[in-house]
Amino acid sequence: MQENKQDNWLLRNLQEIRNTIFPEDANDTVFKKTGKRIGWSMFLMLVLCAAIGVLTAASFAH
């Protein structure tokens, strides 16, 4: 993995997660690439909703 000093910690980790779950392949069809992009977006929304849910639950538990 080639490290770029300009990227911050969050962007580097998000890129590594994306390459692990949805690896890019030059032989992918347009539909497969689109499906991977949609899947990545849905994954990020799911993680964001889970984080908001945990924060909400923690605020009520306080």
- What are the two backbone dihedrals, phi and then psi, of residue 40, each rounded to the nearest 5 degrees? -65, -40
- pLDDT for 6 beyond 90: no
Residues near 28 by beta carbon (within 8 Å), at least 6 away in sequence: 36
Q: What are the tokens at 29? A: 């069809």
- pLDDT for 3 beyond 80: no
Confidence at residue 48, expressed as pLDDT on a 0 to 100 scale: 96
Q: What are the tokens at 10? A: 């969050």
> What is the pTM assigned to this prediction?
0.76
Confidence at residue 7, expressed as pLDDT on a 0 to 100 scale: 74
One-letter amino acid at 1 equals M
Q: What is the pLDDT of residues 19-54, one digit of tens each?
A: 999 998 999 999 999 999 999 999 999 999 999 999
